[in-house]
A and B are shown apart, each in its own frame.
Chain A
Amino acid sequence: MKIITLILAGGTGKELSVLTRHRAKTAVPFGGRYRIIDFCLSNCVHSGIHEVAILAQYSPKSLIDHIGMGKAWDLDRKSGGVYILQPTHDGAAAMWYRGTADALYQNLDLIRNSKADTILVLSGDQVYVMDYRPMIQYHAAHGKAITLAMKKVLPSQRSRFGMVRCAAGGLVTAFREKPTSSTYRYASLGIYLFRRDFLLDVLGGGKSDIVFDVIMPWLKRGEVMGYRFDGYWEDIGSIASYYRASLRLLKNRLMITDADWPIFTRGSDLPPARCADSSRVANSIVADGCIVKGEVTGSILFPGVTVECGARIKDSIIFSFARVGKDAAVERAILDKFVSVGHGASIGGMRSASPGRRSPAGLRPAEETGGVAVIGREARVLPGASTPRGGIVEPHRVVGRKK
Chain B
Amino acid sequence: MARTVAFLLAGGVGKRLGLLTRYRAKPAVPFGGRYRIVDFTLTNCFRSGVEEVYVLTQYISRSLVRHIGIGKPWDLDRMTGGLHILHPHLGYQAADWYQGTADAIYQNLAMLKRLDCENVMILSGDHIYRMDYRAFMEFHASSGKPASVAVVKVPKALASEFGIATVDTEGNITKFAEKPARADSNLASMGIYIFNKEYLHSLIKALKARHEDLDFGKHVIPHLVSKGAISAYRFGGYWLDIGTLRSYYAASLDLLSNNPRLKLYSHSSPILTVPDDEPPFVVTKEGDVRDSIICNGCIVRGSVHRSILSPRVMVEKGAHVEGSIIFHDCVIGEGAEVRNTVIDKGVVIGPRAKIGSGHSLVPNRLQPALLDFGVTLIGKKTVVPGSLRIGTNCLVSGTLDRALIPRRDIEDGGSYIAANTRL
Count residues on chain A whose CB falls below 8 Å from chain B CBs: 40
Mask, A277-298, CB within 8 Å of B = 1, is: 1111111111111010000000
Whether the Cβ atoms of A274 and B290 lie closer than 8 Å is: no
Query: Which of A271, A278, A283 neighbours the largest number of chain B CB atoms within 10 Å of its CB?
Result: A271
Q: With both chains docked as a complex, state the minimum distance between the C-beta of A32 and any C-beta of chain B, in angstroms.
A: 4
Shortest Cβ gap from B328 to chain A (Å): 12
A247-281, CB < 8 A from B: 253, 256-257, 262-265, 267-281
Report the Cα distance A34→B34, complex, angstroms: 19
B280 touches A286 (CB 8 A): yes
Q: Chain B 245-279 against A: per-residue CB contact (8 Å), 1 yes, 0 no?
A: 00000000000000000001101001111011111
Q: Say whether, besides A267-B275, A282-B283, A275 and B289 are in contact (CB < 8 Å).
A: yes
Kindly state whether residue B331 has any CB partner on chain A within 8 Å. no
Q: How far is the CA of A89 from the CA of B306 in the complex (A)?
A: 59
Point out the residue from B265, B277, B279 that lies within 8 Å of A274, measured CB to CB: B265
Complex Cα spacing A17 to B275, Å: 32
- Across the interface, A275 reaches (CB within 8 A) one of B32, B278, B294, namely B294
Known: A33-B296, A286-B294. A271 touches B32 (CB 8 A): yes
Residues of A within 8 A of B32 (CB): 271-272
Q: Which chain B residue lies CB-closest to A288? A: B296
CB of B192, distance to nearest CB on chain A (Å)? 24
- Asked if A31 is at the interface of the complex by the 8 Å CB criterion, the answer is yes
Report the minimal beta-carbon distance from B257 to chain A, rounded to whole angstroms.
Answer: 10
Lowest 10 A-B CB distances belong to which pairs? A267-B275, A32-B280, A287-B280, A272-B33, A256-B279, A277-B291, A272-B295, A271-B264, A269-B270, A283-B285
A150 contacts B by Cβ under 8 Å:
no
B230 at the interface (CB under 8 A from A): no
Contacts of B53 in A (CB 8 A): none
Q: Within the complex, which residue of A33, A275, A282, A284 is in contact with B279, where a contact is CB–CB below 8 Å?
A: A33
In the complex, besides A275-B291, A279-B290, A281-B290, 13 extra interface pairs with C-beta distance below 8 angstroms are A256-B280, A267-B276, A269-B271, A271-B32, A271-B293, A276-B291, A278-B290, A281-B288, A283-B285, A287-B281, A289-B270, A291-B265, A302-B280
List of A residues within 8 angstroms of B288 by Cβ: 280-282
Question: Which residue of the partner chain B has the closest CB to A262?
Answer: B277
Q: How far is the CA of A262 from the CA of B296 in the complex (A)?
A: 13
* 26 A–B contacts, CB within 8 A, in A order: A32-B280, A33-B296, A253-B282, A262-B277, A262-B279, A268-B275, A269-B73, A271-B264, A271-B293, A272-B293, A272-B294, A273-B293, A273-B294, A275-B292, A276-B290, A277-B291, A282-B283, A283-B283, A283-B287, A285-B283, A286-B294, A287-B281, A288-B34, A291-B265, A300-B280, A301-B280
Q: How far is the CA of A335 from the CA of B279 in the complex (A)?
A: 20
Known A275-B290, A279-B289; judge A285-B282 contact (CB<8 A): yes
The answer to the question of B284 belonging to the interface, with a C-beta cut-off of 8 Å to chain A, is yes
Query: What chain A residues lie within 8 Å of B321 (beta carbons)?
Result: none
Q: Note all chain B residues with C-beta closer than 8 A to A273.
A: 280-281, 293-296
- Does chain A have a CB within 8 A of B332? no
The interface bits of chain A over 301-317 (1 if a CB of B lies within 8 angstroms of the residue's CB, else 0) are 11110000000000000
Q: Does A321 contact B (CB under 8 A)?
A: yes
Name A's B-contacting residues (CB within 8 A).
31-33, 253, 256-257, 262-265, 267-289, 291, 300-304, 321
A268 vs B265: C-alpha distance in the bound complex, in angstroms? 13
Closest to A269 in B: B270
Contact A271 B271, beta carbon cutoff 8 Å: yes
Pick from A267, A277, A288: contact of B295, CB under 8 Å: A288
Residues of B within 8 A of A262 (CB): 277-279
Q: Taking the complex as formed, is B177 at the interface, i.e. its CB lies under 8 A from any CB of chain A?
A: no
Flag if B290 contacts A271 (CB, 8 Å). no
B299 contacts chain A at the CB level, 8 A cutoff: yes
Contacts of A284 in B (CB 8 A): 282-283
**A277 contacts across to B, CB distance below 8 A:** 290-291, 306
Cα separation A32 to B296 with both chains bound (whole Å): 10
| Closest Cβ–Cβ distance, residue A286 to chain B (whole Å) | 5
Q: A257–B294 contact, CB under 8 A?
A: no
CB-defined contacts of A31 to chain B, threshold 8 Å: 279-280
Chain B residue total in the interface (Cβ 8 A): 38
Q: Which residues of A contact B277 (CB under 8 A)?
A: 262, 264-265, 267
Verify A285–B265 contact, CB threshold 8 A: no
Q: Is the CB of B280 within 8 A of A285?
A: yes
Distance A271 CA – B34 CA, assembled complex (angstroms) = 7
| Structural contact, A257 and B34, CB atoms closer than 8 A | no
Interface residues of B (CB under 8 A from A): 32-34, 73, 264-265, 267, 270-273, 275-297, 299, 306, 308-309
Shortest C-beta distance, B242 to chain A (Å), equals 18
- A303 surroundings in chain B (CB, below 8 A): 280
Tell me which residues across on chain B come within 8 A of A285, comparing CB atoms. 279-283
Given A272-B32, A272-B294, A275-B289: A281 in contact with B283 (beta carbons within 8 A) = yes
- Collect the chain B residues with CB atoms within 8 Å of residue A276's CB: 290-291
**CB atoms of A263 and B279 under 8 A apart:** yes
Contact B284 A321 (CB under 8 A): no
Residues of A within 8 Å of B280, CB to CB, are 31-33, 256, 273, 285-288, 300-303
Q: Is the CB of B296 within 8 A of A287?
A: yes
With contacts A280-B290, A286-B294, A321-B267 taken as known, whether A272 is within 8 angstroms of B279 at the C-beta atoms is: no
A285 to B278, CA, bound (A): 12
Residue numbers in B under 8 Å from A32 (CB-CB): 279-280
Q: Name the B residues within 8 Å of A321 (CB-CB).
A: 267
Of chain A, the residue at the smallest CB distance from B260 is: A274
* Minimum C-beta distance from B31 to chain A (A): 11
A257 to B277, CA, bound (A): 10
Contacts of B265 in A (CB 8 A): 271, 274, 289, 291
- Distance, CA A279 to CA B280, complexed state (A): 18
> How far, in angstroms, from A285 to B286 measured CA to CA in the complex?
14
Assembly CA distance A269 to B270 (angstroms): 6
Q: Are B279 and A257 in contact (CB under 8 A)?
A: yes
Establish whether residues B267 and A289, one from each chain, have CB atoms under 8 Å apart when the complex forms: yes
Residue from B270, B276, B287 with most neighbouring chain A CB atoms (10 Å): B270
Which residues on the A side are within 8 Å of B286 (C-beta)? 282
* Nearest residue, chain B, Cβ from A276: B291
B320 to chain A, nearest CB (A): 15
Separation of A393 and B367 alpha carbons in the complex (Å)? 62
Return chain B residues, CB-CB under 8 Å to A280.
Answer: 288, 290
Q: Which of B275, B290, B296 contacts A272, CB < 8 Å? A: B296
Measured between beta carbons, the chain B residues less than 8 angstroms from A265 are 277
Min CB–CB distance A186 → chain B (angstroms): 31
**A33 and B278 alpha carbons, distance in the complex (Å):** 9
Q: Whole-angstrom distance between the alpha carbons of A321 and B273 in the complex?
A: 20
Contacts of B34 in A (CB 8 A): 271-272, 288
B414 to chain A, nearest CB (A): 32
Q: For the complex formed, measure the closest distance between the CB of A93 and the CB atoms of chain B, giving whole angstroms.
A: 42
CA distance A302 to B32 in the complex (A): 20
Which of A256, A271, A281 contacts B289, CB < 8 Å?
A281
**Centre residue among B272, B279, B309 by max chain A CB count within 10 A:** B279
CA distance A393 to B277 in the complex (A): 33
Q: Give, as a whole number of angstroms, the nearest-CB distance from A294 to chain B.
A: 11
Complex contacts, A279 vs chain B, CB 8 Å: 289-291
A373 to B23 CA separation, bound complex (whole angstroms): 51
- Shortest beta-carbon distance from B302 to chain A in Å: 12
